[in-house]
Amino acid sequence: MNENIFNIINKNYNSYSKAFQKLSDYIIQNYKSIPFYSIKELEEKSDVSTATITRFFKDLGFGGYSDFQDEFKRILQKEITPMKQIKYSIDKYDQENVLKDIINLNIETLRYTYSEELYKGFKNSIEILNNARKIYIIGNRSSYAVAYYFKFMLFQFMDKVELLSLGTGDIFDRLSYIQDGDVLFAISFSKYSKITSSVVDFFKERGNTTIVMTDSYSSPIATKTENILIAKSGEKTYSFVSAMTILNAMIIELGKIDKEMTLKMFKEKEKIAHENDTYN
């Protein structure tokens, strides 16, 4: 079983029985507790029968309840928050050449970032963004820098891009103007922003397409859409290197669709910047 158990649940959710949907909702909201519950305790907590729980984990491909619990233990072990990673590195890191070691760790992270599933999501996202009437991008807290970069680069050759950020008016007032064909690209890494999750819900409720970039299939926004890009962080250091690499590839791929127009737009932007003495 791969880590994408949440993705499997999400994809099959609409075909599930009401009992399966009820259990799915409970598991997604309380997955951190699953490893510590007996099957009887899960029955009491979720208000779903033991027989339904047994059918559910067998439907997911698990041989027994302990295997089901082990999957959530494995997910929890990988969910180290960025602040914990940074604090641990500052406190315990004993490498003499920190710069060289962090570079090597980031290279290692990139090596296991690519997968066929990521490539499929990448190609699907390119098609969605290219056909969008308007692209809204959101990322809060530490994810804001990544979201800003993506918007800044796309805006060099697209005029249908808007960055949603706190402190520039009420986000939901601005979203009252979304139309059919508008797409949300949401970026959220642990610890996850509640406002980003709420904006994803807002788009979903109106029937608009959402794409999410996150670090785990168990993240709150990953369970809300089928269009997921997993940008993994290193196990030994927290880094956005995977996210930035994926976004750079998306920028290039989108720019190549109408290469002539893209290069023309870049040239015009450079001319304006030069005329206004923007750069040294």
| Tens digit of each residue's pLDDT (9 = 90 or more) over 174-197 | 888 899 999 999 999 877 888 899
Confidence of residue 10 (pLDDT cuts 50, 70, 90): confident
CA dist., res. 61 & res. 9, Å (int): 12
- pLDDT(246) > 70: yes
| Domain match, 55 and 157 both | no
| Domain match, 61 and 139 both | no
Helices 50-59 and 39-46 sit at what angle, rounded to 10 degrees? 110
Q: Which domain holds residue 44?
A: 5-78
Q: Do the domain assignments include residue 27?
A: yes
Confidence of residue 95 (pLDDT cuts 50, 70, 90): low
Q: Do the domain assignments include residue 110?
A: no
Cis ω for the linkage preceding 87 (within 30 of 0): no
* Phi, psi for 259 (deg, rounded to 5): -60, -40
Residue 159's CATH number: 3.40.50.10490
Q: Do the domain assignments include residue 244?
A: yes
Q: Do the domain assignments include residue 61?
A: yes
Residue 33's CATH number: 1.10.10.10
Give me 181's structure tokens: 């064909």
Instruction: Report the domain count for the chain.
Output: 2
Tens of pLDDT, residue by residue over 30-70, are 887 888 899 999 999 999 999 999 999 999 989 899 999 88
Which has the minimum average pLDDT: 51-65, 82-96, 111-125? 82-96
pLDDT at residue 77, rounded to an integer: 64
Q: Do the domain assignments include residue 56?
A: yes
How many CA atoms within 13 Å lie on the side-chain side of 56?
A: 31
Specify the higher pLDDT residue, 270 or 136: 136
Taking alpha carbons only, the member of 74, 75, 71, 91 closest to residue 83 is: 91
With 0.75 as the threshold, say if the pTM is over it: no
Q: Do the domain assignments include residue 54?
A: yes
CA dist., res. 117 & res. 280, Å (int): 43
Q: Which residues contact 40 (CB under 8 A, 6 or more apart)?
A: 50
| Domain match, 254 and 120 both | yes
- pLDDT(254) > 70: yes
| Kind plus residue range of the DSSP H or E element containing 139 | strand 134-139
| Domain match, 70 and 131 both | no
Rounded to a whole number of angstroms, the CA Rg of the chain reads 21
Name residue 166's amino acid: L
Q: Is residue 226 helix, strand or coil?
A: coil
Which of the listed residues 62, 78, 94 is the one where a domain comes to its end? Answer: 78
| Domain match, 120 and 60 both | no
